[in-house]
Structure 1
Amino acid sequence: MLRTELETLMTAEGLRLLDSLPPYTTGTNIVRSVADLRKTGHSAALVGAVMTQARLRAKAGAKFGEFAGRMLFTDAGLEQATRLNVAALHAGRFRAAGLHRVADLGCGIGADALALAALDIDVTAVERDEVTAAIAAYNLAPFPSASVEQGDAEAFDVSRVDAVYLDPARRTAGHNNTSRLTDPNDFSPSLDFAFALAERMPVGVKLGPGLDRALLPAEAEAQWVSVDGSVVETGLWFGALARPGIRRSALVITANSHDELTAGADSDDVEPGPLGEYLYEPDGSVIRARLIGDLARSLDARMVSSQIAYLTADEHRATAFATAFRVREVLPYTTAALKRELRARKIGALEIKKRGVDVDPALLRPKLALSGPESATLFITRIDGKHVAILADRV
């Protein structure tokens, strides 16, 4: 988003027009909506700005629910913004630790600052980019305990606050068509700055779920968060924000529950054993937290194969930390054999999963010529060093 676009949008006319729009839909309805708005005398620039925001608000519903309908966004800001239910958990840590003045350094569009302010925590949100800072100010306007400052996060005087939260920018500069940064040295604020700050005061840092574990400070509590089956972040917590005795955590969030597996360190894997009646696929947060061994022991399960994150057991135990499948049978692992066996079982809908093998399910699927009314899940993996195909059903 350009500054001129924001200035066009942030007028009484622009905001009224945005709020008056019907729910955003794609396709020909977009063309019709634009044409109707232009016919009523609105400028092309204003129509473009409000339609962009309407699109982003519709997309933001997945992260912000009903709150999205009164917020403003940029594409890049929405991409990195914390989901509101996760941001609420972040804010809860600060409140539980008795921290009342918090700086959100690199606040983006203000998602985490919003959650902090909603708990009546005094939050100063700092954002370097002028347009993004203005959007954050708009989003935080309903909260008297929140303020936004445009500036360099690393230049902020932290003596003004009790604690700091950082969500370093992990994409190239800009508001649209940005790309992901892979080198932590390129993050803004930098990890060195964040970790140095953590030596002085309570600090929380949000990072991507694929963070190199070699970068994890020994003194931090590292929490991997999964929402509806997707790992969305790695949270690092220092000082009073880190819970005593916990250094590894897998938090699994669904629409109906929050479940957490915690430990003081990475857990040791269990030994591999024979394939049982049930196969478990651990949640990604458990895998990244390296708590597969603890999960296996809670399920009385064993590894399917060493270094491969599938578990197997003879009895089923319900768990929030893994998806369970009942094993039907082990099939021959060649494309021709799989095609023949699946056709014989009339399987037309097949979910393909793989670990520890060089297989592309998207390329394999058309070769299987699936046909029939039945459905199943196919796991392609290794057992005893050999490739196998396990046919199973979700429990």
Structure 2
Amino acid sequence: MATTDRADANQHVEDLSPVLTPEGFGLLESLPADAATTEEATLQTNLALRKAGHAPEVVTAVVHQARLRALAETKFGPFAEHMLLTRAGLEQATRVSVAALHAQRFVRAGLQRVADLGCGLGADAMAMAALDVDVTAVELDETTAAAATVNLMPWPNARVVNADATEFDLTEYDAAWLDPARRTTSSSGTARVFDPEAFSPPLSFVERLADGGLPVGVKLGPSLPHASIPAGCEAQWVSVEGSVTEAALWFGALKRTGVARAALVLGGGGAAELTSDSPDDAAAEPAATSEIREYLYEPDGAVIRAGLVSKAREQVGGRLLDPHIAYFTADVAHETPFARAYKVLEVMPYNVKGLKRWVKEQGIGVLDIKKRGLDVTPEELRRILLAGVGKKSRRKATLILTRLGETRVAVHVDPVQG
């Protein structure tokens, strides 16, 4: 989050100046942890502080920070209690658990002086500093740089420079880390940018650094097209508790030998990873397909994004339903971190009227719908199928919508626990 794209949007970025005063910061730090955990609590805190005589602009800024801290707990854990944040920065910030993995790459490669170019709120710089890496966090936006400065204060081996990442002198540094801005900010909020050359800085800037011999890591959005991945780097997709959070590219000494693509799955059971030494599966033999068997598997999003469904399928002895659809099926339920297994209860034709009748006959009142290979909006279909269902209907059901060749089917399944 580093160059002029965000500077042009400064007028819309939160104003931290009321918080960066002795009164404002002291007031923020004095608030209890639950001061803004809900909208109701936020309103009550706002009213109480105004009633206590604090200036309206200070109260507004402080309560906004308290609310952002509450929202940030899922990403930063206890660190959030003393951080300064912006809404746009929080949306793109790296989770502390993932930032720690980024930092470990630099440590394992023996890279001790790292420039975090476009540091945003400083999450990755915090993780590096905690592992004794000497890190310089570079941020163009003045407000965001101020927040990062506060967030990095506990670490003497970290510093913040308010500068353009693309013009920063890297002569004295061993490596660089980048988290380019992938959102535009306006008065109506933020919007995602998907073109790698529209990022700030663009992916081509990252390539130039790597081509110059500097070890580089860069965090990009998980929807990064494989065609946009530069040759010779490692691409690793990461999911946390089932949600795909990023695609990270690693160049030079930060790239692992023999790994071109990887899917890292982080969950309650720890970390698990699938890798491939090939940048794509273009030369692979077409996988055999099968009718739906006893169990249906839904691969983790990171596995799908990395193009490693075949490896996850092979681990459970499964077969694809269709060469172009990620679901696969098997006779046995195998526990795997790379896919969710479902017991197949019934396979029905995909027909809205028939499914609506089925919902009514089964007394279903709560319906989870998943789909691949069909042009269907699950939320809209759920509304249609549950329309007119009595309030006494409490039975839960899961439907997976997909196709077998040209045949569209709805599969009633039961999630396998574990």
Q: Which of residues 379, 384, 391 in structure 1 aligns to 2:400? A: 379
- Structure 2: stretches of 5+ with no match in the other structure: 1-9
Name the aligned partner's letter for residue 380 of structure 1: L
2:98 counterpart residue number: 86
CA distance in 2, matches of 1:217, 1:228: 28
Q: Does 1:356 align with 2:373?
A: yes
**1:285-308 residue CA offsets vs partner (Å, 9 max, x unmatched):** 000100011111111000011201
Equivalent runs, 1:105-254 vs 2, <5 Å = 105-173=117-185, 177-199=189-211, 200-254=213-267
**Corresponding residue for 1:21?**
31
2:321 is equivalent to residue 321 of structure 1: no
CA change 1:128–1:288 in 2 (3 A) is same
The answer to whether the aligner puts 1:331 opposite 2:352 as a matched pair is: no
Q: Name the CA distance, whole Å, in 1 between partners of 2:360 and 2:185.
A: 51
What amino acid sits opposite 1:235 in the alignment?
Answer: A
The residue aligned with 2:84 is 72
Instruction: Tell me how far 1:341 sits from its aligned partner.
Output: 2.2
Kindly tell me: are residues 27 and 124 of structure 1, through their superposed partners in 2, closer, same or farther at Cα, counting changes over 3 Å?
closer
Aligned-partner residue type, residue 134 of structure 2: D
1:12 aligned residue: 22
Q: Map 1:58-69 onto structure 2 (within 5 A).
A: 58-69=70-81
Deviation at residue 175 of structure 1 after TM alignment:
9.5
Quote the offset at 1:259 in angstroms. Answer: 0.9
Bigger drift between 186-195 and 266-275 goes to: 266-275
Q: Distance in 2 between matches of 1:102 and 1:176?
A: 35
Moved more, 5-14 or 294-303: 5-14
Asked whether the 8 Å contact 2:290–2:319 carries over to 1, the reply is yes
Q: Is the 8 A contact 1:224 1:234 kept in 2?
A: yes
Gaps in structure 1 of 5+ consecutive residues: none
Deviations 1:96-120 (A, max 9, x none): 0000000000000101000000001
Distance (Å, rounded) in 2 between the aligned partners of 1:365 and 1:83: 32
Alpha-carbon distance in 1 for matches of 2:38, 2:362: 40
Distance 1:387 1:191 in 2: 40
Question: Structure 1: how far apart are the matches of 2:135 and 2:93?
Answer: 17
Distance 2:169 2:185 in 1: 24
SS in 2 for 1:204: strand
TM-score, with length taken from structure 1: 0.96
Letter of the 2:381 partner, please give it: L
Aligned mates of 1:160, 1:45 — CA distance in 2: 42
Looking at both structures, which has the greater relative contact order when contacts are Cα pairs under 8 Å and sequence separation is at least 6? 2
Residue 310 (str. 1) matches residue 322 (str. 2) = no
Deviation by residue 1:19-69 (Cα, 9 ceiling, x = unmatched): 111211334433332222122221011101100100100000010001000
- Matches of 2:72 and 2:411 in 1, distance apart? 38
- Could you tell me which residue of structure 2 aligns to residue 98 of structure 1? 110
- How far apart in 1 are the matches of 2:415 and 2:243? 18
The aligned amino acid for 1:319 is T
Q: Tell me which amino acid in the other structure corresponds to 1:115.
A: A
Aligned length: 395
The one of 258, 278, 281 aligned to 2:298: 281
1:301-350 deviation digits (Å, cap 9, x = unpaired) = 00011201100001111000110000011113211211222333332222
Question: Structure 1 residues 4, 367: CA separation in 2 closer, same or farther (over 3 Å shift)?
Answer: closer
Match of 1:257 among 270, 273, 281: 270
Structure 2 equivalent of residue 365 of structure 1: 382
Determine the C-alpha separation between the residues in 2 that align with 1:36 and 1:181.
39
The answer to whether the Cα contact below 8 Å between 1:331 and 1:341 also exists between their aligned partners in 2 is: no
- Describe the SS at the equivalent of 2:43: helix
Give how far 1:4 is off.
Answer: 9.3
- 1:326 touches 1:393 (CA, 8 Å); kept in 2? yes
- SS of residue matched to 1:7: coil
TM-score by length of 2: 0.91
- CA distance in 2 between partners of 1:154 and 1:213 (Å): 25
Q: Tell me, in whole angstroms, the C-alpha distance in 2 between the residues paired with 1:252 and 1:43.
A: 47
What CA distance in whole angstroms lies between the structure 2 residues aligned with 1:37 and 1:256?
43
- 3-state DSSP of counterpart to 1:279: strand
